[in-house]
Amino acid sequence: MTVSDGSPSLPAGVERHAFDGTERLATRGDPVYGEPTDGPWRAWNPHRSKLGAMLELEMATGLEGGETVLYLGAASGTTASHVADFAGPTYAVEFAARPARDLLEAAESRPRLFPLLKDARKPETYAHVVESGVDVIVQDVATRGQARVALENSRFLADDGRLLLAVKARSEDVTRDPAAVFEDVQSELESGYEVLETRKLEAYHADHLGVVARPR
């Protein structure tokens, strides 16, 4: 059952639907990770998706639907599959072979989802595949140097594009206070990006910060 036709904060192709009496974000597509469905709609679980959490928290992602997306850290395709449901060409970079197999399965019914078994820290290895001038970079990588990954991949981003980054404090340094880690990552980002908005994702993901930025 449709709860609403969406809102200005949601991109076209993302709506709120009721699943078992609970209103949730949803996209149209084949299920990927056992999520509830309602006809062609599949629930988007913000507890398993940093971008889903950013949308639930009404961050100004700038997503409208139909964008060309570079997704860094696609893992098994939980979020990348939702993105490909409403976006345009979606290049999904994942380094680990095991989750990449699941990502390939998610792509079978999604002609706009292009899995790349590559390391997001080495954008030169997929520069021959990913088109320049992408509208959005979505980054969710579990590694040290998350700001550096975003800066290195900014080569693909259009001048008016957006970076949607989920900073994982524990991946940077498990011994430090997350607030200090967030501050350092933002400071490093500012050498190549203007940070437009930040918000802690604690309601859905512990020790994570959502960041919306645009290239300088």
List the domain boundaries for the chain.
56-215
User: How far is the CA of 13 from the CAs of 6, 22, 79, in angstroms?
Assistant: 9, 19, 14
The vertex-57 CA angle with 48 and 139, nearest 5°, equals 55
* Annotated binding residue 95: yes
User: How confident is the model at residue 9, as a pLDDT?
Assistant: 74
120 marked ligand binding residue:
yes
The tens digit of pLDDT for each residue in 161-189 reads 999 999 999 999 999 999 999 999 999 99
Strand order in the sheet with 22-28: 14-19, 22-28, 41-43, 37-38
12 is annotated as contributing to ligand binding: no
pLDDT of residue 145: 97
User: Is 14 among the annotated ligand-binding positions?
Assistant: no
Is 129 annotated in some ligand binding site? no
Alpha helices in 13-77 (DSSP H): 50-56
**15 labelled ligand-binding:** no
Q: Locate 174 and state its tokens.
A: 């498990």
Residue 184 three-state SS: helix
pLDDT at 7: 46
Residues of the chain with pLDDT under 50: 1-8
- The domain defined by 56-215 carries CATH number 3.40.50.300: no
Judge whether 79 is annotated as a binding position.
Answer: yes
Instruction: Judge whether 106 is annotated as a binding position.
Output: no
68 marked among binding-site residues: no
How far, in Å, are 18, 77, 101, 156, 181 from residue 27 at the CA level? Answer: 12, 14, 22, 26, 33
